[in-house]
């Protein structure tokens, strides 16, 4: 699991990242969005995972330090520079988010409880009204359902026979009747 700002760096030395979820950028989410699959051979990977724990610039690290592919070892400084550049672009946005998050949550909490109370106030009477009309409506439906079905069955077979007779006269084709 990535800690802090996580990035995926390709063999072409392009760095990819996505928005954080609770202050961490998920390597798995980045790969999913890129449509990339995990590479089975750890030494021949086409990408590496990088992170800055706690979004601290001095804490740059590779997630797979012991199994870095050769291309990542050769370009370690370039990868660190590019990832640091991205961190410097993203960190102020995260800081601004952190600054407004608590007041925004407090505002949400302030309006949420009264809204929920209003919902509860109208929900119970609406449900009671539904309960009051449901049973009679269902009884009425059940009262007319069987006679209606019997009427349908009474006219279905003659109608089908007439259809077959008509279509047979037109082009000689007799369709198969689908059974219930």
Instruction: Report the number of distinct structural domains present in the chain.
Output: 1
Please indicate, yes or no, if residue 19 is contained in any of the structural domains: yes
Whether residue 44 is contained in a domain is answered as yes
- Assigned domain for 128 exists: no
**How large is the C-alpha radius of gyration of the chain?**
33
In a domain, 150, yes or no: no
Encode 122-143: b = buried (16+ Cβ within 10 Å), e = exposed: eeeeeeeeeeeeeeeeeeeeee
Each residue's pLDDT tens digit in the chain (180 positions)? Answer: 577 889 999 999 999 988 877 777 788 888 999 999 877 777 678 999 999 988 888 899 998 888 888 899 999 999 999 999 999 998 888 888 888 988 998 899 889 888 888 898 898 888 888 888 998 898 889 889 989 998 898 899 888 888 877 777 776 566 666 555
The domain in which residue 27 lies consists of: 5-107
Read off the tokens for 78.
């370039």
Task: State the CB neighbour count (10 A cutoff) for residue 161.
Answer: 11
């Amino acid at each position: 699991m990535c800690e802090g700002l996580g990035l995926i760096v390709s063999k072409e030395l392009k760095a990819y990242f996505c928005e954080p979820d609770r202050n961490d950028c998920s390597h798995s989410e980045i790969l999913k969005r890129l449509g990339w699959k995990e590479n089975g051979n750890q030494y021949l990977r086409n990408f590496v995972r990088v992170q800055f724990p706690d979004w601290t610039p001095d804490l740059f690290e590779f997630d797979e330090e012991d199994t870095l592919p050769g291309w990542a070892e050769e370009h370690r400084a370039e990868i660190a520079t590019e990832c640091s550049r991205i961190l410097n672009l993203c960190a102020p946005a995260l800081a601004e988010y952190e600054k407004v998050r608590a007041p925004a949550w407090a505002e949400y909490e302030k309006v949420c409880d009264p809204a929920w109370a209003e919902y509860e106030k109208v929900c119970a009477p609406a449900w009671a009204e539904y309960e009051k009309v449901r049973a009679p409506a269902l009884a009425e439906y059940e009262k007319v359902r069987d006679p209606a079905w019997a009427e349908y069955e009474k006219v279905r077979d003659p109608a089908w026979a007439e259809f077959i007779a008509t279509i047979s006269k037109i082009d000689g084709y007799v369709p198969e009747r689908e059974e219930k």
